[in-house]
Chain A
Amino acid sequence: MSVLLALDIGLALLVFAVAARTVFARGAFEAVVDYVAYGLLLSIVWVRLFAVDVALTEAAIGGGVTGVLLVGAAARLRGAETVAAEESPSASLRVVAACLCLLVTAVLAGVVLLLPYPGPTLAPESARHLAETGLGNPVTAVLIAYRGIDTMLEKVVLVLAVVGVWSLAPDRFWGGAPGEARAAQPEPTLAFLAQVLPPIGILVGVHVFWAGADEPGGAFQGGAILAAMWMILMMARLTEAPPISALWLRLLLVAGPVVFLAAGVAGAVIAGGFFAYPPGLAKPLILFIETFMTLTIAVTLPILVAGPPRREPVE
């Protein structure tokens, strides 16, 4: 046990150190790079907590896709650094903030240590109903079956984020495409990676999604991997983001929540309640919903990273 203990303590200290670098770094770009490293370390912490689904999600979305978003932003905002320097807070504000934050940390740590162990848990309940859903992965069961409406609403939140991001475009660009246009001569290294990685990535992504019914994995994790593959292609400028008025794009962006909503409403008719699943049909129906959710995630994440349209629409 002592090796694992040393690993855990070392990991905890490392995570804290990298997070501290993120907060105290001088430049925004350094802070962002530290944050990406932090995200990856965090996913290892999640594995140590035996929450592998979460570890996958943190690595893919928390560290990976958020990292791309932040790195891109930091690169574009380099010019804003010097202007903001004059607003640095005074030393007294820093001291007050530090005391407040130490207090918050201490209180939270105290509460954490006082939490009961073994704690109250819904694991037995989840296990009891798992057979009805036909799934083997309880986290997927919670996401799609027991608390399905939360997941459906979260997909709607993603759609809203897309609307919000798109609405920030100047009027003249509406209907155009975000991101950069295809490059006539893409940069060779990026182009090579973008040709080698996607086929593997797509296979891995589909597998992670499909296996999520019984093993750790699922729509979010698989969809994020697929999203990453599309993002690599766009970053290498081998392909460009579609115009936002494209019907197929809109269809893919809402396919997940629409199918989930339709299944939920159908549940009222065929299974006695909204978001209920008919016995026997639960697993196929869940996989059906998850398929479209994966597609939507795979399309939504790169679109959110690409940002508002930046080119005029072509007619």
Chain B
Amino acid sequence: MISATQAGLIGAALVGLGLYGLITNPQPLRKILAFNLIGSGVFLMFGIIARKGAAAGFPADPVPQAMVITGIVVAFAASALAIALVLRLYEETGRVTLRPDAWTKPPSDGAGSE
């Protein structure tokens, strides 16, 4: 089970690495990349759990594998939505920032009305 344990350790390292990237990269695109890293690390954890569950003639437990496949598709959809938001924000304003005070409008106009 050497490869399984290694994959698990790599998964743990990727989660940590991705989390670091998430916290320290201010650009939303880099944060989205970091999320994908964390996600793939989590999937690797599922992977070693699947490998450790080899039984009944299967080399790996199929249930976690199915969960990972579902997770990969959902992660892609999340990236697509996030990227679309980032690109739209950039097109509208020419900059992409998550700082909360970057968008405050002065209260004298119709902010909040619809």
Answer whether A and B touch in the complex at a CB cut-off of 8 Å.
yes
Q: Hey, which bits of chain A sit against chain B, CB under 8 A?
A: 4-5, 8-9, 12, 15-16, 19-20, 22-23, 28, 31-32, 35, 38-39, 42, 45-46, 48-51, 53-54, 57-58, 61-62, 65-66, 69-70, 73-74, 76-77, 79-81, 83-84, 87-89, 93-94, 97-98, 100-102, 104-106, 108-109, 112-113, 115-124, 126-128, 138-139, 141-143, 146-147, 150-151, 154, 157-158, 161, 164-165, 168, 220, 301, 304-305, 307-308
Q: How far is the CA of A15 from the CA of B12 in the complex (A)?
A: 13
- Nearest 6 CB-CB pairings of A with B: A121-B53, A105-B16, A50-B59, A108-B12, A112-B8, A138-B62
Residue from B10, B55, B78 within 8 A of A45 (CB atoms): B10
Distance (whole angstroms) from the CB of B72 to the closest CB of chain A: 5
Decide: A112 near B9, CB < 8 A? Known: A61-B73, A161-B81. Answer: yes
What are 30 A-to-B residue pairs whose CB atoms are below 8 Å? A19-B13, A19-B17, A23-B18, A31-B30, A35-B33, A38-B37, A45-B10, A49-B48, A54-B47, A58-B40, A61-B76, A62-B72, A66-B76, A69-B80, A80-B95, A81-B27, A83-B95, A89-B23, A97-B23, A100-B23, A108-B16, A112-B11, A115-B52, A121-B61, A126-B56, A127-B57, A150-B66, A151-B70, A157-B77, A161-B78
- Counting chain A CB atoms within 10 Å of each CB, the highest count among B26, B40, B73 belongs to B73
Chain B's closest residue to A104 (CB) is B16
Decide: A115 near B49, CB < 8 A? Known: A32-B33, A69-B79. Answer: yes
CB contacts (< 8 Å) of B24 on chain A: these are 89, 93-94, 97
Number of A-B contacts (CB under 8 A): 286
CB contacts (< 8 Å) of B76 on chain A: these are 61-62, 65-66, 69, 301, 304
Residue from B34, B62, B63 within 8 A of A23 (CB atoms): B34
